[in-house]
Amino acid sequence: MDNHEKQILCPDCETPFEENEKGKFICPNCGREETEVEREARLIEEAKKRLDEESKNYKTRSEFEKFAREDNERAFERKERIKVKAGEFEETATSAESGVLLKQIKQRRKQAQDSADEKRLLELIAEEEQMQREHDRHLAHEARERAKALRLEGQMPFELIIDSDGLVKMKFGRYPQSVLSDENMISMLDEKMSAGSFVRNEQGWFKFGNIMYAAIPANPYDMSVKFDNGEPIQRSKFYYFRVEPILWRVLEVRDDEAVLLADKILANKDFNADKRTGKWNDSYIRDWLNTRFFARAFTLDEQKWLKHARLDNMTTSHKLTKEYCGENTEDTVFLLSHAEAVKRAMGFSIVSEKKDVERRAFPSDYAKAFGAMSSQEEDYAGHTNWWLRSPGTTERSASAVEPTGKINLLYGVTQKMGIRAAIRIRPFPQKSNR
């Protein structure tokens, strides 16, 4: 800040005051005089008026604008996420690496061919074919993601992100996610909470400054689970969680809808502890997603973009679970079915028993505080289980994705596991109103 910015301006003509020998402040332009006491009183009064005006303006802003502003301040760490336009889509690290490896193999094959080493040549031909398939798979993945981005770009007012793995994602809605770790801020919130200064909104959240927070006592899965910042989670201790924009993975874009899957596990719930059935149409989690989660995560403006439509629950289950399928439903928020979780067009492995990286998911700090487990295995450390809406192989079980990315068909519905919400939005609203 330069010296001019530090000077106090005259409220009448906005000319910097000058201090005379008697300690008074005089405007050289209009002649206004102030003592130091008068000046401080005026500045305090002006500050109060600005705060009152900002408060009035803040209350008149829509929820969507408010959270968009908060996101601009600090909603995501962008170290690993690159915001680009669809037309600037670049190759991912995986395809670049496989392309380099393929080129190296071809060079070694040529050397073996020149040296007439038949055994080595046959080995390299097989290795080249395998690497070519891997490279083609990476390129196909990029082509699918690029096509999604191109179809969505410009069709809706929500920010698209292409992450370092080439996956197209979108910010939409908001929910408590990251734990607050700043000790000074926690101390201030504790003080105001004790004094009863906070008024919770309909979602149960409260505002401090420009940020919305949720406060809950933690009930972790076990003592090994830690927040993303490395802090061990203490049972029954109250923590504050920042309400942040939800990041969604764009799974599929059709003519009348785009299917989105939450990038992280947002909550940790049982599938159906009361009725103990694996039928989605009669489940607790279906009711929770379409009532409480729906009302909390999306503003009225955002809800207009969501599509409420029929879900196929009877033919999308694994063949071993067909006898336990429930009826088809009409929902706005849902869980993926078994068939969708093995759909190549959505980016997943078509083999349910495969350790699929694309099916793995990390829980948010908020979900961990509600008991989401966090794997300690080195190859998939930090990942957790998440429910599918398809039934299991018994009446009281349901299907779920394991931390490895495999799909398990036998999880008891009374267990609490990760909730990875899915939604359908209308990318072309002008068509939806016909």
pLDDT, greater one: 276 or 109: 276
Distance CA 213, CA 204 (A): 9
- The percent of residues in the chain predicted with pLDDT above 90, rounded, is 51
CB atoms closer than 10 angstroms to residue 215: 18
Give the per-residue pLDDT at 224: 92
Highest mean pLDDT among 53-57, 80-84, 387-391: 387-391
- The percent of residues in the chain predicted with pLDDT above 70, rounded, is 82
Residues contacting residue 298 through CB under 8 Å, at least 6 positions apart: 172, 173, 306
What angle is formed at CA 70 by the lines to CA 80 and CA 334, rounded to 5 degrees? Answer: 70
Region at 327 (left for phi over 0; alpha for psi -120 to 50; beta for the rest): beta
**Averaged pLDDT, 395-416:** 96
**Mind giving me the DSSP string for 32-62?**
-EE-HHHHHHHHHHHHHHHHHHHHHHHHHS-
Q: What is the pLDDT of residues 88-139, one digit of tens each?
A: 444 455 566 667 777 887 888 788 778 877 888 888 888 878 777 777 766 7
Coil vs helix vs strand at 261: strand
pLDDT, greater one: 45 or 339: 339
- Give the DSSP H or E segment for 247: strand 238-253
Give the per-residue pLDDT at 7: 62
Q: What is the pLDDT of residues 155-204, one digit of tens each?
A: 777 888 887 777 889 899 999 999 999 999 999 999 988 888 888 888 88
When mean pLDDT is compared across 70-84, 290-304, 365-379, the lowest value belongs to 70-84
Distance CA 348, CA 339 (A): 10
Q: Give which of 361, 401, 373, 390 is closest to 283, Cα–Cα.
A: 390
pTM of the predicted structure, to 2 decimals: 0.71
Q: Give which of 401, 399, 378 is closest to 390, Cα–Cα.
A: 399
What tokens appear for 68 in the block? 């968009």
Mean residue pLDDT across the chain? 82
pLDDT, greater one: 244 or 69: 244
Highest mean pLDDT among 54-58, 97-101, 119-123, 416-420: 416-420
What tokens appear for 193 in the block? 């909470």
